[in-house]
Structure 1
Amino acid sequence: MFNDIGALELVTLIVLAVLVFGPDKLPKVIQDVSRTIRKIRDFSESAKQDIRQELGPEFKDFEFEDLNPKTFIRKQLDNDDLGLKEIRNTFDLKKEMAEVADAVHGRDSDSSSSSSPSSSPGSSGGRVEMTKKPESPVADDRPPFDADAT
């Protein structure tokens, strides 16, 4: 529960507790807090047991920690009933990204893996050709200019 509290923070909390509650009342406050925490734990355990009984024998392996999405996904990835490891191993992210980069730069993806980028057809060394004028749109595609609207 308090895994990330260091020694300095713990000493600071103790000094603060002594200053706020005083040395006379501090033991009673600690007892009250520990009793309350114990009651909350007992209540949550009894609630978990009631839920397990109500769910029935079909959910005997049900763990409440599985309701956390990260834990659930981690457990499902470890359980390879769906063949997810095979799918994960066949998917190569670097290859997919290289294909996308080749498509963006206009290079042929088959020849880029076997030859240098400057020798692939349709490219000029991986650079975008800036001297070519873009194709002009057809006049009918543009909306009419309205001087009053601007």
Structure 2
Amino acid sequence: MFGIGLPELTVILVVAVFVFGPERLPEFARQAGRFLRQMRTYADAARDDIRRELGPDFADLELRDLDPRTIVRKHILEAMDEDDEPPLRAGLRPLADGELPPYDIDAT
């Protein structure tokens, strides 16, 4: 959750008790819970709108699928799963054992 571990969460709670006091802390916790619930509702509504606009092909779309890192990772993995041997271009053949590649003096 946001890269916050147990030690960081404990420090945040201790600071919150000192800043807000034990009397007001439960009300702030309720407000934070309401805020998170509302944000989740907004995210679900946005996801449903995107699904509806894109059509039935994207019925299983999740919002984390729109993360650029996820998209790149997905396409890289798909490309790696494809045939490992590159296709030969027209007119080219693999070199025989001991055969030197063609050398273009003008290209160097």
The bucket for the TM-score relative to the shorter chain is 0.5 to 0.7
TM-superposed deviation, 1:57: 1.3
Verify the 8 A CA contact 2:65 2:71 in the aligned structure 1: yes
- Matched-pair contact (CA < 8 Å) for 1:66–1:72: yes
Structure ID, larger Rg: 1
Percent sequence identity over matched residues? 39
Runs of at least 5 residues in structure 2 that lack an aligned partner in the other structure: 87-99, 101-108
Structure 1 residue 80: deviation in Å? 4.4
TM-score (norm. length: structure 1) = 0.48
Provide the residue aligned with 1:133 in structure 2: none
Residues 79-137 of structure 1 show CA distances to partners (whole Å, capped at 9, x for unaligned) of 249937445xxxxxxxxxxxxxxxxxxxxxx7xxxxxxxxxxxxxxxxxxxxxxxxxxx
TM-score normalised per structure 2: 0.64
1:14 shift after superposition: 1.3
Cα distance in structure 2, aligned partners of 1:29 and 1:61: 36
Structure 1, unpaired ranges of 5+: 88-109, 111-150
CA distance in structure 2 between the partners assigned to 1:84 and 1:76 by the alignment: 14
The one of the two structures with greater contact order (alpha-carbon pairs below 8 A, sep at least 6) is: 2
Residue 76 of structure 2 aligns with which residue? 77
C-alpha separation between the residues in 1 aligned to 2:83 and 2:37? Answer: 42
Q: 1:47 to 1:39 in 2, by over 3 A?
A: same
Alpha-carbon distance change, 74 to 86 in structure 1, aligned in 2, over 3 angstroms: farther
Shift of 1:71: 1.2
2:41 corresponds to 1:42:
yes
1:50 CA displacement: 1.6
Which AA in structure 2 matches 1:38? R
> Measured at CA, do residues 71 and 54 of structure 1 come closer, stay the same or move farther in structure 2, by a change above 3 Å?
same
Aligned position for 1:22: 21
**d(CA) in 1 for partners of 2:24, 2:54:** 45
| Alignment correspondent of 1:92 | none
Q: Residue 61 of structure 2 aligns to a residue in which SS?
A: coil
Aligned-pair Cα RMSD in Å: 2.6
Number of matched pairs: 87
